[in-house]
């Protein structure tokens, strides 16, 4: 039944397109005949009229023809996924960290620590280097947690080309930044962690073992050197801060591709073919050509050009504590709830942006025409209106000439 309805719908649309094309052909043919007839009466005047009509048709076609144009936007997100297009710093000089956790699903790398160690087993105090070796075929994780007022610092996390970061998120309740999956492709990443030699930390681990002490799963560590970690396998990274790291964590402009502004598809267990995406957008604005749109919570941004978003700028953590007010003439128009999450600017090029709570049923569309690459929309509309008025006056004048000749 559905196939029959679809066939009829496709057939109806085909007939509609044919009729539109036929109407346009008929209209242009009649205009051509009219202009040919008028040329025999007043050639100069007819050339002028033809030029104006041709210019108006050119402008109309240029207005209706979509074109790839730059866009920009400022977004508030609860999650972000992207792939780096080049070697570039991502996190730099992030301090006041109280806990760092790294989790490998498989193929974990050894963790080498130097400094002073203590545990219930006094023999560990004689060591100045401890190596945590991963146990094969097990999920492995380690955690370094500050004792008392100690803190850690991430000196640098540098992304390499084609590295994918899946679900970058910030939990304001626990002041925790997490990257659910860091996936290096061509080259490994480097993560540099530093700490004061006077601070002490608790190191806890699972899926690792210390060859000399196979029963130990945690110990106290006082570092004497920074740690440089090589990340060449998919890994989950969690960083907990002493206080909210407002606006002082991420570094520079990022050249990116495969940007996803939604969370992982949720599968309906009753029907595995029926899944939906959950938008990660909590607010913001987007601009294409001279058109702006204010985004609401849960709306999707769908771009009709592949890899439309090419740059992320000003990525930062926002942890607002008080509502903000939209006012006009000393009147409160709207009270905005405090936003806690990620905020960033995006830019790129696309033909069309669709916006809506349902990705397949957009409620708003931003689209730029070819002519808008050179002129603002208001100027194009004003020019079309002027030429239409001019053509109307010229046709009236020509009608008088034709009636006099008859």
Residue 4's SS3 state is helix
Please say if the pLDDT value at position 57 is more than 90.
no
- CA 147 to chain centroid, in Å, comes to 38
Mean pLDDT (the chain, rounded): 80
Mean pLDDT for 6-31 is: 61
For residues 152-173, one letter each, b for 16 or more C-beta atoms within 10 angstroms of the residue's C-beta and e for the rest, the string is bbbbbbbbbebbbbbbbbbebe
**What's the per-residue H, E or C state across 108-140?**
CCCEEEEEEEECCCHHHHHCCEEEEEECCCCCE
Among candidate residues 253, 242, 290, 203, the one with its CA nearest the CA of residue 96: 242
Tens of pLDDT, residues 71-98: 999 999 999 999 999 888 898 888 889 9
Domain boundaries in the chain? 1-67+378-405, 72-367
Please name every residue paired with 235 in a beta bridge, in sequence order, or none if there are none.
104, 182
Q: How far apart are CA 17 and CA 337, in angstroms?
A: 48
Q: State whether the Cα torsion 97-103-109-115 is positive or negative.
A: positive
How many Cα atoms are found within 13 Å in the side-chain-facing hemisphere of 66?
12
Tens of pLDDT, residues 239-286: 999 887 765 678 778 999 999 998 766 555 555 544 567 899 999 999
Q: How far apart are CA 116 and CA 125, in angstroms?
A: 7
Please say if the pLDDT value at position 291 is more than 80.
yes
Res 274: pLDDT? 45
Report percent pLDDT > 70 for the chain: 72
Q: How far apart are CA 291 and CA 305, in angstroms?
A: 18
- Of 42-51, 59-68, 300-309, 391-400, highest mean pLDDT: 300-309
Say what the pTM is.
0.76
Asked if residues 255 and 89 have their Cβ atoms less than 8 Å apart, the reply is: no
Tens of pLDDT, residues 294-309: 999 999 999 887 789 9
Mean pLDDT for 52-80 is: 80
For residues 256-273, one letter each, b for 16 or more C-beta atoms within 10 angstroms of the residue's C-beta and e for the rest, the string is bbebbbbeeeeeeeeeee
């Amino acid at each position: 039944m559905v196939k029959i309805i679809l066939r009829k719908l496709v057939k109806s649309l085909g007939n509609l397109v044919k009729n539109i094309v036929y109407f346009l052909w008929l209209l242009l043919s009649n205009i051509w005949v009219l202009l040919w007839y008028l040329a025999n009466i007043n050639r100069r005047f007819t050339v002028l009229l033809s030029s104006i009509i041709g210019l108006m048709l050119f402008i109309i076609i240029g207005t209706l023809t979509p074109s790839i144009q730059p866009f920009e936007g400022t977004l508030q997100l609860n999650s972000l996924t992207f792939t780096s297009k080049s070697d570039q710093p991502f996190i730099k000089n992030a301090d006041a960290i109280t806990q760092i956790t790294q989790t490998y699903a498989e193929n974990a790398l050894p963790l080498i620590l130097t400094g002073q160690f203590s545990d219930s087993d006094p023999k560990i105090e004689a060591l100045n280097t401890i190596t945590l070796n991963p146990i094969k075929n097990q999920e492995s994780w380690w955690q370094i947690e500050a004792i008392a007022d100690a803190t850690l610092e991430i000196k640098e996390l540098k992304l390499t080309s084609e590295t994918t970061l899946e679900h970058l998120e910030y939990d304001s309740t626990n002041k925790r930044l997490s990257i659910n999956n860091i996936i290096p492709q061509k080259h490994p990443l480097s993560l540099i962690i530093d700490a004061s030699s006077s601070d002490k930390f608790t190191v806890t681990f699972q899926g690792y073992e210390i060859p000399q002490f196979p029963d130990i799963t945690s110990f106290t560590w006082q570092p004497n050197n920074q740690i440089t970690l090589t990340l060449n396998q998919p890994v989950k990274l969690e960083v907990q801060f002493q206080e909210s790291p407002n606006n002082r964590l991420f570094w520079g402009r990022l050249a990116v591709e495969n940007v996803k502004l939604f969370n992982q598809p949720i599968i309906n267990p009753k029907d595995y073919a029926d899944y939906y995406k959950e938008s990660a957008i909590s607010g913001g604005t987007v601009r294409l050509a001279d058109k702006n749109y204010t985004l609401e919570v849960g709306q999707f941004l769908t771009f009709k050009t592949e890899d439309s978003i090419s740059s992320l700028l000003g990525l930062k953590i926002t942890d607002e504590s008080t509502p903000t007010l939209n006012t006009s003439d000393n009147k409160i128009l709207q009270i905005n709830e405090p936003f806690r999450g990620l905020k960033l600017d995006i830019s790129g090029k696309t033909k069309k942006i669709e916006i809506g709570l349902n990705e397949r049923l957009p409620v708003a569309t931003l689209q730029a025409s070819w002519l808008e690459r050179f002129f603002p929309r208001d100027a194009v509309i004003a020019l079309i209106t002027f030429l239409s008025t001019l053509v109307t006056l010229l046709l009236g004048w020509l009608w008088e000439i034709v009636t006099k000749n008859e």
